[in-house]
């Protein structure tokens, strides 16, 4: 009997525990997504930070590579990039109210009421410390060149920060270094509190920076090594509490969520409606789909999803937003492996692959079939090429007859069963390599394989276990044909560097590009030069030239690179990604909508600073 | 030295050797994985929407924490640090001590897995005894079928089903997280209630997943014991059914005891599927993420924890076994 009593007592305890949980405040809050929302005091705004997955134990330090720190909420910058491809220096004001480019750099006027969450003002010391830290983190300083040399000019390089009084600051670029993007890079630097971070830096940090920038190579190297070691200390630093100059300050981080409270000292606090922000942890797209279909988020970051999920999300009361994403999914070739060293073969494949059909399956919601292969996304191609130049591009619309003609011209033959054979007579088969976790590439590979197989080239998709292995094996030349991200912008030199950079055997020293087919990083293995419209061009040199050419003067260079890429097809651009987001006006109103590209490419904290997201 | 102390010392020594072997093996294994931490992260940052300069700067920071020494020298350094209780610094989290990351994730694995394990063991063992004793009845059959059925359902299917019923349809329990973030952590009834409430679905998932195994193992063990001579003798002697049940239970549970002890060790590996489904981040997620980004120190630290836990559980099981079953001591 006593055991029965024990069992009954145990059951009673379990029931009591359940009752306790049912009576807890959270029981009432977490059931159907109505827990947050706008109230008289502003309410709770719930979203997901796409930059980092929340990790219990990660520091509240923006210089850590995976911090619990959230851009636009408690992580602030002088300005926020509008990702304008035609004006790289176009930014939203952040802690800087305004700025002016000067001959030596720029002057910045701080927001008159900029304060930290402890009530102290944002000062020149904060900006100076932050830029010194940027130097230690590889953002601002020189980069290591071959043989451990120091290469100036790749990054923005601040030589001095002067207090001009009245919240005005002069930020100078190292004399002799001309980084075209100095203004954007300085304004985009993360600003942290001097009192919190300067104890982590040596007192002579600017002396060390001056030594790195000095004429003595040995002293520069020694100082750079020292800065690098100090950078590690900064990156690992875990402040005890968050001191923010942004609209919110981090109150608490749990394994599954982060809670931020409105910063009452924020310079534009009257524009910020939510009293709190909850950022939820996620490990994959499926979780975000679940949060959205259950109506638990006020807005979502870009999330790849199939059409049926997007429909369910809209059905749950969300409005969809679209903004350009400066990334393309492409099928790239290793031209060291025959027959992909033959331009006609790559062109024939481009004529066989129906990009619209592939995109509809691979990335139906967040992708737009690439209109051209130029090395840039569609809207950038539109911005930089004239209509005549665009009309001269080959769109490679599906045309099996043209593909067959190109292959026959290259010595390929087709047997009675419809199978294509290589010029040496062996059957032509393709292994299309993709990678685990990239569900869009995997789905798209099936369609590409079907299309090529139907055309007579037996194609099999193959999946590599993870991206690290994929990257390693691709770099080692193991794959002949595989998926690759290209058109990384909005800076055009970065977009072309993805194709005509290290991955193609190009390296640049003092503005001069050289090509090596045997370079270990070279896996594209394209020729060093192309002949386009009767002219010989060097894509590596043109890409290097782009990095030192003002955007206004880049069009002739881009025209050559786009035409060469379109003709030679080192890769076939399949789709351009679109940054698809969702918001619901269940709790808040005045969200940025499709068309507000600059805002949509920034996190909601930046929207709030601009007066968006108002209580309903 | 007593016999028990000698056995303990011997097992501890063997355990230490085993830990060293596994540590050595896992150290070289994780470093043999293709890919470098920084390379992996560059693409990841690009996909997250960082522009190339920011991505490169972040990767530079990651490289700063990646050792470039020869592998064997790294191994010696690693062993040396281990002897001082230092698991090293994370690469992915730019120098955060590995022990800090593991310690932060640990409670959110131990709480649901340990509770789920104990609940499933308790219910599974009781149900197993009933299923064996009443195996000819409808109830016995039903219990056995329930065990087979639940044991056969994949973890993610079970977790999704629970989520659908208890969160999406009935709005009874939260779908994600470990507690209500707006509550101050502590021992307040609200916070404890919130933690319990958030743990219910993960605990039920863990419990259901292992319930079938315990039930079927116990049933099989009880049936074996029921055929033993001493049970027949106790029946012939007219001992009370409760006494006979105690004899049966004590003998039948012995094989399960070792499995239970090992399960305590294995639980430190967490269960990624359940952690992911309920967004209940614990060691499983930390380990999987570290593999994906090639965070060697975190990988090695997590594997070490699992290894030590399993070996320790094994030693404890061996020692306890000698106390529970006197025949083993002979």
Please indicate, yes or no, if residue A23 is contained in any of the structural domains.
no
d(CA A265, CA A242): 14
How many domains is chain A built from? 3
Contact check, Cβ <8 Å, B279/A236: no
**CB-based contact B294 A468, cutoff 8 Å:** yes
Domain identity same for A46 and A164 = no
With a cut of 60, say whether residue A9 has pLDDT above it: no
- Identify whether residues A402 and A296 lie together within a single domain: no
Q: In terms of domains, do A407 and A510 share one?
A: yes
Residue A31 has pLDDT above 60, yes or no: no
As a 3-state breakdown, chain A gives helix, strand, coil percent values, each rounded to 5, of 35, 25, 40
Number of neighbouring beta carbons within 10 Å of residue B62: 27
Q: CA-CA distances (angstroms) from residue B20 to B25, B263, B297, B306, B311?
A: 8, 21, 16, 13, 11
A259 and A135 in one domain? no
Give the closest residue to B255 by CA, choosing from B216, B311, B287, B290. B216
- Report A:20-49 residues touching B (Cβ under 8 A): 20-27, 29-32, 44
- A407/A271 same-domain check: no
How many residues make up chain B in this entry? Answer: 330
A435/A297 same-domain check: no
- Mutate which: B46, B55, B61, B91, vs A, most A CBs within 10 A: B61
> What is the Cα B319 distance to its own chain's centre?
21
A62, part of any domain: no
Q: Is residue A58 part of a domain?
A: no
Helix (H) or strand (E) holding A430: strand A429-435
**What digits encode the pLDDT tens for the residues A239-252?**
999 999 999 999 99
Give pLDDT tens digits for A382-427: 999 999 999 999 999 999 999 999 999 999 999 999 999 999 999 9
- Helix, strand and coil content of chain B, in percent to the nearest 5, comes to 80, 0, 20
- Give chain A positions within 8 Å (CB) of B44: 467
Q: Which of A35-44, A46-55, A460-469, A529-538 has the highest mean pLDDT?
A: A529-538
| pLDDT band at residue A527 using 50, 70 and 90 as cut-offs | very high
Cβ within 8 Å of residue B218, ≥6 positions away:
B124, B125, B127, B128, B129, B131, B132, B252, B253, B256
Give yes or no for a contact between A468 and B36, defined as CB atoms under 8 angstroms apart.
yes
* Same domain membership, residue A402 and residue A551: yes
Question: Which residue in A has a C-alpha nearest to residue B196's C-alpha?
Answer: A21
Residue A322 near residue A580, CB atoms below 8 Å: yes
- At A113, which CATH number? 3.90.76.10
A218, A28 Cβ separation under 8 angstroms: no
DSSP-derived 3-state class of residue B157: helix
| Among the partner residues B40, B46, B62, nearest to A488 by beta-carbon distance | B46
Task: Indicate the residue among A216, A236, A256 that finishes a domain.
Answer: A236
- A56 neighbors A254 (Cβ within 8 angstroms): yes
Q: Say whether the peptide bond before residue A512 is cis (omega within 30 degrees of 0).
A: no
Of the residues B182, B185, B249, B286, the best mutation for testing chain A's interface (the one with the most A CB atoms within 10 Å of its CB) is B182
Per-residue DSSP letter, A603: -
**Domain at A477, CATH number:** 3.10.105.10
Q: Give the Cα separation of A595 and A575 in Å (integer).
A: 20
Quick one: average pLDDT of B100-127? 91
Q: Select from A236, A255, A286 the last residue of a domain.
A: A236
Please give the residue of chain B at the shortest CA–CA distance from A21: B193
Q: Each residue of A350-379: pLDDT tens digit?
A: 999 999 999 999 999 999 999 999 999 999
Q: What is the DSSP letter of A487?
A: -
Please check whether residues A149 and A258 belong to one and the same domain: no
SS3 call for B171: coil
Tell me if A13 is assigned to some domain.
Answer: no
Please answer yes or no on whether B177 and A284 come within 8 Å at the CB atom. no
User: Cβ separation of A58 and B62 shorter than 8 Å?
Assistant: no
Coil, strand or helix: which one is A260? strand
Assess whether A439 and A338 both reside in one domain: yes
Q: Check if the beta carbon of residue B34 is closer than 8 Å to that of residue A473.
A: yes
Residues of B in contact with A56 (CB under 8 A): 104-105, 108, 281
Q: Which residue range forms the structural domain that includes residue A262?
A: 31-53+246-318+584-615
pLDDT the model gives residue A159: 87
Nearest Cα to B95, choosing from B127, B65, B57?
Answer: B65
SS3 A162: strand
A482 and A588 both lie in a single domain = no
* Whole-angstrom distance, CA of residue B95 vs CA of residue B82: 16
Q: Do A256 and B279 touch (CB under 8 A)?
A: yes
What's the gap in Å between the CA of A524 and the closest CA on chain B?
A: 17
* A488 contacts in chain B (CB < 8 Å): 46, 51-52
Could you tell me if B160 lies within 8 Å of chain A, comparing CB atoms?
no
All domains in chain B, ordered by first residue: 3-103 (no CATH), 107-281 (1.10.3720.10)
Distance to chain A for B295, nearest Cα, Å = 11
Q: Where are the alpha helices (DSSP H) in A137-239?
A: 182-187, 194-197, 205-212, 217-236
For residues A418 and A531, state if they share a domain. yes
In a domain, A19, yes or no: no
Residues 575-594 of A with CB under 8 A from B: 579
Chain B residues in contact with A497 (beta carbon < 8 A) = 52
Mean residue pLDDT of chain A comes to 89
Instruction: For chain A, count helices (H), then strands (E).
Output: 21, 29
- Give all strands of the β-sheet with A276-280 in edge-to-edge order: A44-47, A276-280, A257-262, A248-253
**Whole-angstrom distance, CA of residue A228 vs CA of residue A100:** 31
The arithmetic mean of pLDDT across residues A492-501, rounded, is 91
Domain with residue A313: its CATH number is 3.40.190.10
State which H helix or E strand residue B258 sits in. helix B254-266
């Amino acid at each position: 009997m006593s055991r029965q009593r024990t069992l009954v007592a145990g059951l009673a305890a379990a029931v009591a525990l359940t009752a306790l949980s049912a009576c807890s405040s959270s029981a009432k809050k977490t059931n159907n997504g109505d827990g947050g929302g706008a109230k008289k005091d502003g309410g709770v705004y719930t979203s997901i930070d796409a930059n980092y997955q929340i990790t219990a134990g990660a520091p509240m330090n923006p210089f850590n590579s995976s911090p619990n720190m959230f851009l636009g909420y408690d992580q602030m910058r002088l300005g926020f990039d509008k990702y304008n491809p035609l004006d790289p220096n176009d930014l939203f004001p952040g802690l800087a109210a305004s700025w002016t480019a000067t001959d030596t750099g720029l002057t910045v006027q701080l927001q008159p009421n900029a304060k930290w969450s402890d009530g102290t003002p944002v000062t020149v010391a904060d900006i100076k410390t932050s830029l010194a830290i940027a130097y230690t983190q590889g953002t601002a300083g020189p980069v290591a060149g071959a043989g451990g040399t120091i290469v100036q000019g790749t990054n923005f390089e601040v030589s001095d920060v002067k207090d001009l009084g009245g919240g005005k600051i002069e930020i100078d670029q190292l004399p002799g270094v001309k980084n075209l993007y100095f203004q954007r890079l300085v304004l985009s630097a993360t600003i942290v509190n001097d009192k919190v971070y300067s104890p982590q830096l040596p007192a002579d940090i600017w002396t060390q920076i001056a030594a790195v920038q000095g004429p003595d190579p040995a002293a520069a190297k020694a100082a750079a090594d020292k800065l690098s070691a100090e950078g590690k200390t900064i990156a690992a630093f875990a402040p005890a509490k968050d001191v923010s100059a942004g609209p919110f300050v981090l109150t608490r981080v749990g394994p599954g969520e982060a809670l931020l409270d409105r910063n009452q000292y924020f310079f534009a606090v009257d524009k910020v409606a939510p009293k709190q922000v909850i950022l939820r942890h996620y490990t994959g797209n499926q979780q975000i789909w679940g949060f959205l279909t259950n109506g638990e988020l006020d807005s979502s970051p870009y999330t790849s999803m199939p059409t049926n999920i997007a429909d369910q999300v809209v059905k749950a009361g969300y409005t969809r937003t679209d903004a350009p994403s400066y990334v393309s999914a492409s099928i790239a070739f290793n031209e060291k492996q025959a027959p992909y060293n033959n331009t006609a073969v790559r062109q024939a494949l481009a004529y066989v692959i129906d990009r619209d059909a592939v995109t509809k399956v691979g990335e139906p919601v967040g992708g737009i079939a690439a209109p051209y292969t130029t090395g840039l996304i569609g809207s950038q191609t539109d911005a930089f090429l004239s209509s005549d130049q665009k009309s001269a591009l080959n769109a490679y619309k599906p045309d099996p007859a043209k593909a067959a003609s190109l292959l026959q011209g290259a010595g390929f033959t087709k047997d009675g069963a419809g199978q294509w054979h290589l010029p040496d007579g062996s059957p032509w088969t393709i292994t299309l390599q993709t990678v685990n976790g990239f569900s869009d590439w995997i789905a798209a590979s099936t369609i590409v394989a079907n299309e090529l197989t139907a055309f007579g080239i037996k194609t099999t998709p193959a999946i590599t276990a993870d991206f690290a292995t994929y990257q390693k094996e691709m770099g080692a030349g193991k794959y002949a044909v595989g998926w690759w991200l290209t058109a990384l912008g909005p800076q055009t030199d970065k977009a072309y560097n993805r194709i005509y950079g290290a991955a193609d055997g190009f390296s640049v020293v003092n503005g001069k590009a050289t090509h090596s087919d045997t370079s270990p990083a070279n896996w594209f293995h394209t020729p060093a030069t192309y002949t386009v419209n009767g002219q010989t061009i060097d894509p590596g040199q043109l890409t290097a030239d782009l990095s030192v050419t003002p955007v206004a003067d880049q069009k002739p260079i881009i025209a050559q690179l786009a035409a060469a890429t379109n003709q030679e097809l080192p890769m076939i651009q399949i789709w351009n990604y679109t940054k698809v987001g969702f918001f619901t006006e269940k709790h808040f109103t005045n969200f940025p909508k499709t068309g507000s590209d600059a805002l949509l490419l920034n996190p909601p904290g930046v929207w709030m600073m601009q007066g968006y997201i108002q209580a309903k | 030295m007593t016999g028990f102390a000698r056995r303990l010392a011997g097992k501890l020594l063997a355990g230490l050797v085993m830990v060293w072997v596994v540590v050595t093996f896992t150290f070289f294994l994780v470093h043999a994985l293709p890919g470098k931490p920084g390379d992996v992260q560059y693409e990841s940052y690009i996909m997250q929407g960082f522009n190339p300069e920011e991505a490169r700067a972040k990767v530079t920071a990651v490289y700063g924490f990646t050792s470039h020494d020869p592998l064997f020298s790294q191994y010696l350094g690693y062993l040396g640090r281990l002897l001082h209780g230092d698991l090293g610094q994370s690469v992915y989290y730019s120098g955060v001590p590995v022990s800090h990351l593991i310690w932060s994730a640990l409670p959110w694995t131990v709480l649901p897995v340990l509770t789920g394990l104990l609940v499933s063991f308790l219910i599974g063992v009781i149900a197993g005894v009933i299923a064996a004793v009443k195996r000819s009845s409808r109830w016995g059959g039903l219990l056995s079928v329930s065990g087979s059925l639940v044991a056969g359902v994949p973890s993610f299917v079970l977790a999704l089903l629970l989520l659908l019923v208890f969160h999406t349809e009935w709005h009874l329990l939260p779908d994600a997280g470990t507690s209500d973030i707006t509550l101050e952590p502590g021992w307040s009834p609200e916070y404890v209630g919130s933690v319990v409430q958030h743990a219910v679905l993960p605990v039920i998932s863990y419990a259901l997943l292992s319930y079938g195994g315990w039930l079927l193992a116990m049933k099989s063990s009880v049936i074996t014991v029921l055929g033993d001579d001493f049970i027949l003798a106790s029946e012939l002697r007219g001992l009370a059914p409760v006494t006979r049940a105690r004899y049966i239970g004590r003998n039948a549970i012995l094989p399960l005891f070792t499995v239970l002890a090992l399960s305590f060790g294995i639980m430190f590996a967490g269960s990624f599927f359940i952690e992911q489904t309920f967004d209940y981040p614990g060691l499983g997620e930390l380990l999987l993420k570290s593999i994906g980004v090639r965070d060697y120190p975190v990988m090695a630290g997590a594997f070490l924890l699992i290894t030590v836990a399993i070996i320790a559980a094994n030693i404890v099981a061996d020692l306890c076994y000698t106390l529970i079953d006197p025949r083993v001591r002979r």
